[in-house]
Amino acid sequence: MRSHQKLVYSAVTLLAAFGIVIGAATTASAVVLVNQPPARVCAGHTFRVGVWYQQFSGGSRRYRVTVYNPQRHVILHKTGLAPSSHWRLWRVTAAQTGDYHTTYRTIVHGQWRSYRAKTVSRNC
């Protein structure tokens, strides 16, 4: 093959592979976006957790949000269908110092998947 033909063949191969990747991404399951809580917060202050559904993505809008205090007691537990028009947010008060753990559960490809985040509360 001449160099020009090799370049065209490489470009067509690359575009075909890219098209397969894009096609796979567009057929993915729903996306329930989650609000990443802050990594650090001062004791006595609040932080927010929340969900929002990307309407164009299709699929399940179901979610579960649980926040645990430093003693691992549940201080917030919410379930439902994520709204597509706005964020649904909840304020959590870091009443004491220590590690607060937030667990988001959403349905991805027909199965519940978890995302966990930690917020450290310290005296400021």
Q: What is the pLDDT of residues 71-97, one digit of tens each?
A: 999 999 999 999 999 999 999 999 999
Higher-scoring residue by pLDDT: 57, 6: 57
24 and 39 fall within a common domain: no
* pLDDT the model gives residue 2: 52
H or E stretch at 13:
helix 3-26
Which residues span the domain enclosing 43? 32-122
30 pLDDT higher than 80: no
**Local confidence band at 109 (pLDDT 50, 70, 90 cut-offs):** confident
Q: What's the total number of domains in the chain?
A: 2
- Contact by Cβ (8 Å): 49, 89: yes
* Contact (CB, 8 A) for 98 and 17: no
Decide: helix, strand or coil at residue 121: strand
Instruction: Kindly state whether residues 53 and 90 are assigned to the same domain.
Output: yes
Whether 50 and 98 share a structural domain: yes
Q: Does residue 109 sit in the same domain as residue 49?
A: yes
Q: Residue 17 pLDDT > 90, yes or no?
A: no
pLDDT at position 3 over 70 = no
pTM, entire model: 0.74
Residues 38 and 84 in one domain: yes
